[in-house]
Amino acid sequence: MVVATPNTLRRGNKKTTAFGIPTIDLSEEKSKSSEMIVKACEDYGFFKVTNHGVPNKVIARMEREAVDFFSRPVSQKRRAGPATPFGYGCKNIGFNGDKGDLEYILLEANPLSLSQRSKTISNDPSTFSCVANDYVNAVKNLACDILELVAEGLRTQDKSIFSNLISDSQNDSCFRINHYPPLTAPNHQQEFNHNWDPSPVEQERLHISPPLPTVGSKSRIGFGEHTDPQILTILRSNDVNGLQICSHDGFWIPVPPDPNEFFVFVGDSFQALTNGRFTSVRHRVVAMNSWKTRMSMMYFAAPALDAWITSPSQIKNKSIISTNNSNIYRPFTWGQLKQIVYSLRLADSRLDHFKNH
């Protein structure tokens, strides 16, 4: 694991610290990588994986389809929207007024939905759906491998205890592609000055709304700070920077982009599944590059809506998962958490609703 000495930089009023990101080579011996993954999940809730086994061709094809989609005229992209929550979205995130300087497509990660949605996304829907399916399956397998290594590292009896949740045929995983405009590019700004909202009243309101918050003098919020509600997120981006993670002590750490590797985020559900031993990582995207577009693809691994999110310590031996024997959270289903998630703002903490008092 590479964790360099902190090198503190100042951006605006806030401190930003450049660290080495924990990096796990999946071709290493299982016992070693499982231990390192557990440590990274505890220390950061975030790490990078190398030798991940996802074929370059699968990634390149997905990227090509996504670039093709976002390069289309707004009128065509809107055919795939609005994002409620699935479909094409621009600037609006969720249903409670959150905004970001981005456009995106959010898709349900199952073959049937992908095939239906593809018809609104591409002129060649069968190719898009095939490419998206291949990508989603490859990253889902990667997520399962990682979850099995975590189980190994935590020494749970059942090594599939976490991976079974997301390989379930009813899993509620989703797939998102985010496209961030460069910081200053007149043509792009024009493209991004439309808002995807069907209501004219709302559109009117959005045009007069204040500009998106800035972070220091030369950056702007692309996607505001939040944690992911699912179990695990697998992210891949192009070579444009902007992603930052928040350390346990509150520093924003810039994550250098690496188009050849994947980044893994612990989500809220994994925090609950481990009784707080892992913490979901707060992260955000700030637009800092003046001339290049950032594009990222995220697979959010979630269980079935009726799956119970409860620490195995409640089922088996408590000492396996957490040194703290009392249960921090009462059991809840993924569907119940999702309902809370969509009733709150992006930056809110959702697990508080399930805390045992």
Residues labelled catalytic: 294
When the beta carbons of 117 and 313 are compared against ligand GA4, the nearer one is: 117
Residues 59 to 98 in contact with ligand GA4, rule: CB under 6 A:
85, 93-94, 96, 98
Determine the interface stretch with ligand GA4 among 156-164, 190-198, 226-234, 250-258 (rule: CB under 6 A). Answer: 226-234
| Binding flag, residue 341, ligand GA4 (CB under 6 A) | yes
Contact of 333 with 304, CB cutoff 8 Å: no
Residue 20 CB, nearest approach to ligand GA4 (Å): 25
Task: Produce one character per residue of 163-176: b if its CB has 16 or more CB atoms within 10 Å, e if not.
Answer: bbbbbeeebbbbbb
| Binding flag, residue 228, ligand GA4 (CB under 6 A) | yes
For residues 284 and 277, what is the distance between their CA atoms, to the nearest angstrom?
22
Residue 18: its H or E element: strand 14-18
For residues 171 and 164, what is the distance between their CA atoms, to the nearest angstrom?
10
Residue nearest to ligand GA4 (CB): 94
Binder among 21, 346, 351, 354 for ligand GA4 (CB under 6 A): 346
When the beta carbons of 154 and 309 are compared against ligand GA4, the nearer one is: 309
Residue 220: its H or E element: strand 220-226
When the beta carbons of 104 and 128 are compared against ligand GA4, the nearer one is: 104
When the beta carbons of 191 and 228 are compared against ligand GA4, the nearer one is: 228
| Binding flag, residue 25, ligand GA4 (CB under 6 A) | no
For residues 18 and 198, what is the distance between their CA atoms, to the nearest angstrom?
41
| Binding flag, residue 103, ligand GA4 (CB under 6 A) | no
Residue 227 CB, nearest approach to ligand GA4 (Å): 8
For residues 307 and 250, what is the distance between their CA atoms, to the nearest angstrom?
32
When the beta carbons of 72 and 338 are compared against ligand GA4, the nearer one is: 338
List all residues 6 or more positions away from 150 whose beta carbon is below 8 Å from its beta carbon.
Answer: 34, 37, 38, 41, 162
Q: Quick one: the chain helix, strand, coil %, rounded to 5? A: 35, 25, 40
Pair of tokens at residue 297: 């693809």
Residue 13 CB, nearest approach to ligand GA4 (Å): 25
Residue 29 CB, nearest approach to ligand GA4 (Å): 33
Pair of tokens at residue 89: 């979205």
Residue whose entry in the numeric block shows the structure tokens 């444009």: 240
Residues 158 to 177 in contact with ligand GA4, rule: CB under 6 A:
174, 176
Determine the interface stretch with ligand GA4 among 12-20, 202-210, 213-221, 341-349 (rule: CB under 6 A). Answer: 341-349
Site residues (vs ligand GA4, CB under 6 A):
85, 93-94, 96, 98, 106, 174, 176, 226, 228-229, 300, 341-342, 346
